[in-house]
Amino acid sequence: MDNATTVVAMQPPAAVDEHEHVSLPQHRHHFETEEQQREAGTFGMWLFLLTEIMFFGGLFFSYLLYRNWYNPAFVAASNQLSIPLGTANTAVLITSGFFMALAVWAAEMKKKSLLVLFLVLTTLFGVVFLGVKYFEYKEKWEKHHIPGEHFDISEFVNPPRDVKTGKLVEEPLPPDMAQKTQVFFSLYFAMTGMHALHMIIGVGLLLWLIPRSQRGDFTAGYVAPIENFALYWHFVDIVWIFLFPLLYLINRHPV
Amino acid sequence: MSATSSTIVNLPDQTTATLPKRNYINAEDGMLSWLLTGDHKRIAILYLISITFFFFIGGAFAGLIRLELLTPQPDLVASDTYNKLFSMHGIVMIFLFLVPSVPATIGNFVLPIMIGAKDLAFPKINLLSWYLYWIGGLFTLAALVLGGVDTGWTFTTPLSTHYLNTHVVTAGLGVFIIGFSSIFTGLNFIVTIHRMRAPGMTWFRLPLFVWSNYAASILMVLGTPVLAITLVLVVLERTIGIGVFDPTKGGDPLLFQHLFWFYSHPAVYIMILPGMGVISEVISTFSRKRVFGYTAVAFSSVAIALFAFFVWAHHMFIMGVSNYSALVFSLLTMLVAVPSAIKVFNWSFTMQKGSVTFETPMLYAFGFLGLFTIGGMTGVFLGSLGMDIHLTETYFIVAHFHFVMVGGMLMAFLAGIHFWWPKMTGRMYPESLSKLAAVTTFIGFNLTFLPQFVLGYLGMPRRYHAYPPEFQVLNVLSTAGATVLGVGYLLPLLYLGWSLKYGAIAGNNPWQATGLEWQIQSPPLTENFIETPVVDYEAYDYEWLANKTQNEVTTVG
Ligand code: HEM
Ligand SMILES: [Cu+2]
């Protein structure tokens, strides 16, 4: 792919570069040194994450705008989300991030079986997170909280009463404000959906990294793919750390 | 082989000269070696062929639009077909031609060589970005074949999400994918410029072409993702009915405008900045002078990139933004004119102090200067609130952006292609024909678009396929101009193609320019440099070049 034939002809036969140490097989011809290659890779990854920030930035911007405009609708809609599930999922995700950090450590320490173990654990916790998301979405579907034709605002206009005390669970919203809860749910699905999509891509990458780790690709001194993937995974964690309070915990903030 | 006084072209003796035996073109044989290549120069060629293809598709639409407008009556196409024509024209020209034009072709080819690198930092991502370009391009073509889109290139909601029953989703996905191609190009450039410069190639020895592509890359990396998420939201709104922009659910169509223009205003500079880089190289070479105020020109690129993010709402003056914010955006818009003007003044000073010759690239560069200046100054009109309310959505705006993007960018692109063609192919093109093409383009361009300023001022709205009869004379002029312009664009296709086989052998440095790319053989080796060069001279140091002896040139036989 990298025009290997011509390049080989140009390089000294023993694959020893100018700095007199043996190149790893992953050293690409157009970099002067492995150090340069590693720095370029990391820098590229950070830039990519910057584009991701801008990508989510559009959503966060919309969220802040509408939350200012339609605060009562946002609070009421937010109360329909399950704080216990959200909290549990936050814990699950942070745990998977922790295992990912351990995986980087294992790769750097050249501990192959630990690396594989930690990557598998990262994957598992990632999948659990997605499973919980599935149940949350399903509940929204059943409650008719998916924006569109079947969206149901009756619960926001006539909130149910508590069975024991007979008090209203929630302040009733005037119908036009209740309509605006759709915007909250639109953003909820767009933001968590985008986040979940990033998790799915991450799990896919993990499933590709695990067999390669088993082959020992990353425990001989070449750890860049593990490190760069970890950056990605932590980024996805961090996005969630912002999403969780913004979407689930609005009510804790005095209205 | 001494140069005559009116020209600096310096070709090797044609009776003995041959192309270097080994170069990037013949390094490997077969289609597959091209389709799987990691060589930035081959990827540049792939891009060049691809964007030329799309340019002529977009051009065919333009031709049909102008034919329809030949007469006041709607006689050639129905109104909905007309809507599809200008939408596809805009989408193809912006996303498939203008955005990738200079960076992906010329930039890909010369930028790594200019900084003394063997390749871009991520060759595979570079190739991937070409494939993404084509996947996105095929989606866009599919939208066309399936029946077209009629939203205009701006995909404005709620028009695009609720009222138009055309292939918005397909086209939107196409543009989304092309966006990633552009993000990856920008990312690759930034990392390469930061990490792969040869020893001695300090930031202030970088050719200005590198600076301007660096600035454009920042815009690509920061702006394009915002467009991407906006299009995702449009597609989600159309398909599953979420309501971020939908007023019936409490969403706000104006938010779409904000997000869209947050990308699309800077996108104008994604398109024009690399072109400005070309102009700096060309003007310096054919004036035999370091660009006057090198640092100012370099920083003005970065300044344009930064300012570009703060003026988007000048596209929304009549869309319901508050008077107060309109005022602020109007002022900020004026500010962007400053760094652009700095460039134009510095180029003029460079020429005034240099010994100017008029080779073809220089003719195109002159075309750029004239047309870009008109385009830029009319932009100031549009940036001022009161004028804009009269002129927006008329042909004045059509003329304005064609002056900047077609008059400016396309001229710069052609200047660049003619400038680096000898390096890319090792051959020259016929000088008289190429000069004829440059002049034809310039005349055709003015004939096409100058009347449109008048039309717009008189009140002819854009995006209509019929108009009152009193506008016909100017429209006929414009269509006639478009025909001349079309000839101007076809000519290079013909003689550049011809030159591939029959052109004179160019040698390493036909223009006697100073850039690193001119110090290696033409066409270059796959690995660009046999030894990593050490740079010990400033950019555009013509004295250094004069002192350099011929045998220092890096070639292999
Ligand atoms: C051959 C010369 C060209 C002619 C005669 C031409 C003609 C036109 C006309 C008449 C319109 C206005 C349609 C309307 O708003 O009613 C238009 C729109 C546009 N043109 Fe061109 N064009 C040419 C070349 C180009 C090129 C080379 C580019 C870009 C590189 C370009 C970019 C655009 C864009 C972005 C629009 C806006 C489309 C929209 O309103 O959605 N044009 N063109
Ligand atoms: Cu603008």
DSSP 8-class letter at B520: B
Question: Does any ligand 1 atom lie closer than 6 A to the CB of residue B477?
Answer: no
Separation CA B337–CA B430 (nearest Å): 38
* Per-residue pLDDT, A109: 95
Lowest mean pLDDT among A63-67, A170-174, B306-310, B474-478: A170-174
Pick from B339, B344, B400: nearest CA to B375? B400
**Burial of B182 per CB tally in 10 Å (0-12, 13-18, 19+):** buried
* Per-residue pLDDT, A255: 42
The reply to whether A47 touches chain B by the CB within 8 Å rule is yes
* Per-residue pLDDT, A16: 40
Which residue would you say has higher pLDDT here, B409 or B318? Answer: B409
* Nearest residue (CA) to ligand 1, atom 30: B93
Question: What DSSP letter does each residue of A131-184 carry, written as one string?
Answer: HHHHHHHHHHHHTT-SSSTT---HHHHSPPBPTTT--BSSPPPPHHHHHTHHHH
> Is the CB of B27 less than 8 angstroms away from the CB of A6?
yes
**Res. B6 pLDDT band, cuts 50 70 90:** low
Q: Which of A54, A61, A150, A179 to mutate to test the interface with B (most CBs of B within 10 A)?
A: A54
**Burial of B36 per CB tally in 10 Å (0-12, 13-18, 19+):** middle
Number of the ligand 1 atom closest to the C-alpha atom of B101: 30
Q: Tell me how far the alpha carbon of residue B332 lies from the centroid of ligand 2, in angstroms.
A: 11
Tokens of B115: 């900084």
Mean pLDDT of A188-205: 97
Contacts of residue A18, defined as CB under 8 A and 6 or more positions apart, other chains included, come to: A32
**Res. B96 pLDDT band, cuts 50 70 90:** very high
- Which phi and psi angles does A53 have, rounded to 5°? -60, -45
Question: Does any ligand 1 atom lie closer than 6 A to the CB of residue B462?
Answer: yes
Separation CA A115–CA A121 (nearest Å): 10
Tokens of B532: 């990593």
User: CB atoms < 10 A from the CB of B15, how many?
Assistant: 5
* Per-residue pLDDT, B552: 52
Separation CA B341–CA B345 (nearest Å): 6
Q: Tell me how far the alpha carbon of residue B86 lies from the centroid of ligand 1, in angstroms.
A: 7
The reply to whether A63 touches chain B by the CB within 8 Å rule is no
Task: Say yes or no to pLDDT of B542 above 90.
Answer: no
- Contact present, B281 and B208 (Cβ < 8 Å): yes
Lowest mean pLDDT among A248-252, B123-127, B157-161, B312-316: A248-252
* Per-residue pLDDT, A6: 35
Question: Does any ligand 1 atom lie closer than 6 A to the CB of residue B448?
Answer: yes
Average pLDDT of every residue of chain A: 87
> Is the CB of B244 less than 8 angstroms away from the CB of A62?
yes
How do residues B327-371 score in pLDDT, each as one tens digit? Answer: 999 999 888 889 999 999 999 999 998 889 999 999 999 999 999
Question: Computed over its alpha carbons, how large is the radius of gyration of chain A?
Answer: 24
- From B97, B368, B402, B474, mutation site for ligand 1 pocket: most ligand atoms within 8 A of C-beta: B402
Mean pLDDT of A57-70: 94
Average pLDDT of every residue of chain B: 92
* Per-residue pLDDT, B165: 80
* Nearest residue (CA) to ligand 1, atom 34: B90
Q: Considering only alpha carbons, which residue of chain A is nearest residue B250?
A: A180
Q: Considering only alpha carbons, which residue of chain A is nearest residue B195?
A: A40
How far is CA B62 from its chain centroid? 18
Q: What percent of chain A has pLDDT over 70?
A: 88
The reply to whether A29 touches chain B by the CB within 8 Å rule is yes
Mean pLDDT of B101-106: 97
Residue A16, classed as helix, strand or coil, is strand
Task: Say yes or no to pLDDT of A12 above 50.
Answer: no
Kindly provide the ipTM of the predicted complex, given to two decimals: 0.90
Tokens of A152: 């149901």
Question: Does any ligand 1 atom lie closer than 6 A to the CB of residue B412?
Answer: no
Mean pLDDT of B169-195: 96
* Per-residue pLDDT, A169: 74
* Nearest residue (CA) to ligand 1, atom 19: B90
Separation CA B541–CA B290 (nearest Å): 7
> Is the CB of B123 less than 8 angstroms away from the CB of A28?
yes
Q: Tell me how far the alpha carbon of residue B63 lies from the centroid of ligand 1, in angstroms.
A: 10
- Type of residue at B341: A
Report the predicted TM-score, pTM, of the whole model to 2 decimal places.
0.91
Tokens of A34: 């492995």
> Is the CB of B195 less than 8 angstroms away from the CB of A2?
no
Residue B505, classed as helix, strand or coil, is strand
Q: Give the closest-approach CA distance of B319 to chain A in angstroms.
A: 18
Separation CA B392–CA B482 (nearest Å): 23
How do residues A13-56 score in pLDDT, each as one tens digit? Answer: 334 444 444 445 566 778 888 888 999 999 999 999 999 999 99
How do residues A75-85 score in pLDDT, each as one tens digit? Answer: 999 989 999 99
* Per-residue pLDDT, A26: 65
Question: What DSSP letter does each residue of A197-241 carry, written as one string?
Answer: HHHHHHHHHHHHHHHHHHTTTTSSS--HHHHHHHHHHHHHHHHHH
Separation CA B119–CA B5 (nearest Å): 37
Q: Give the closest-approach CA distance of B188 to chain A in angstroms.
A: 7
- Contact present, B361 and B418 (Cβ < 8 Å): yes
Query: Looking at beta carbons, which residues of chain B come within 8 Å of A190?
Result: 232-233, 236, 242, 244
* Per-residue pLDDT, A254: 46
Separation CA B489–CA B495 (nearest Å): 11
How do residues B113-152 score in pLDDT, each as one tens digit? Answer: 999 999 999 999 999 999 999 999 999 999 999 988 999 9
How do residues A95-130 score in pLDDT, each as one tens digit? Answer: 999 999 999 999 999 999 999 999 999 999 999 999
HEC profile for B149-205? CCCCCCCCCCHHHHHCCCCHHHHHHHHHHHHHHHHHHHHHHHHHHHHCCCCCCCHHH
User: CB atoms < 10 A from the CB of A235, how many?
Assistant: 19
Which residue would you say has higher pLDDT here, A252 or A192? Answer: A192
* Per-residue pLDDT, A2: 40
